[in-house]
Amino acid sequence: MSDATWWGNLYDDALADVLMSSDAGVDATIAFLVGALRLAPGDAVFDQCAGTGRLAIPLRRWGARVFAVEQAVRYVERARAADPALQIVAGDAFAYVPPEPCRGALNWWTSFGYLADDAGNQRMLRRAFDALAPGGRFALDYMNVPGICAHFRAHDIQRRGELLMLRDTRLDLAAGVMHKTWTFVAPDGTRRVRPSQVRMYAPDRLVQLMTDVGFTGCEVFGDVDGQALALTSPRCIVVGLKE
């Protein structure tokens, strides 16, 4: 996908500095992935949409052989600077498949659902399926759409150092799309505004999309603690098997 896409414009250093610079929750996430994907040291793992390597790097240091892809060239540079041994490439997650079959694969922090049509979004799921050896497992981390609707917040403000980030959210329930406007305010008052939109897939629809590309035995979790999905869950994690 080209940089003309909304995600090609949104994911820059400013967003990474606000949302991707904390290690909070990473250890618990790695523990969940090791268990849910049934990994052993030395297993090959595919990190689809790896960002700045926030999970790929600790997974590699845990002992996995990680293959990672990320569309933002700058994020790939940051990941390589943090861990020169990490095998990460700048590429299109709708098309990229790692060079060898993997034991596990992951797509984390709602990096799925960016296209308007289901068939387009399923291309990313198919690449995850293609990346796996038989018996491999894939974990898709997505927003908890029922919970978001039940506890909707239209506005959010976060600060990292002197950088301020404002998020304004609008739900188009008829179309099943979440629209966001991201505003980054620099210390000198300069503003940069970026849009985004993500399909609002209910949990059962995520399971169906994964089943349609070949995954079986899909399980749904509400967080990395392994609890069942509920309205109050912070996320929706679907884990499927490639038989």
- Tens place of pLDDT per residue across the chain (243 aa): 334 599 999 999 999 999 998 888 999 999 999 999 999 999 999 999 999 999 999 999 999 999 999 999 999 999 999 999 999 999 999 999 999 999 999 999 999 999 999 999 999 999 999 999 999 999 999 999 999 999 999 999 999 899 999 999 999 999 999 999 999 999 999 999 999 999 999 999 999 999 999 999 999 999 999 999 999 999 999 999 999
pLDDT value at residue 22: 87
Q: What domains does the chain contain, in order, with CATH numbers?
A: 6-144+202-241 (3.40.50.150), 147-198 (2.20.25.570)
- Encoded tokens for 202: 């209910």
Instruction: Quickly count: other Cβ atoms within 10 Å of residue 188's Cβ.
Output: 6
> What is the 3-state composition of the chain as percent helix, strand, coil, each rounded to the nearest 5?
30, 30, 40
The answer to whether residues 131 and 218 touch, using CB atoms and an 8 Å cutoff, is: no
- pTM exceeds cut of 0.85: yes
The DSSP letter of residue 95 is T
pLDDT value at residue 4: 59
The answer to whether residues 159 and 165 touch, using CB atoms and an 8 Å cutoff, is: yes
Distance CA 41, CA 54 (A): 19
The DSSP letter of residue 243 is -
The answer to whether residues 26 and 58 touch, using CB atoms and an 8 Å cutoff, is: yes
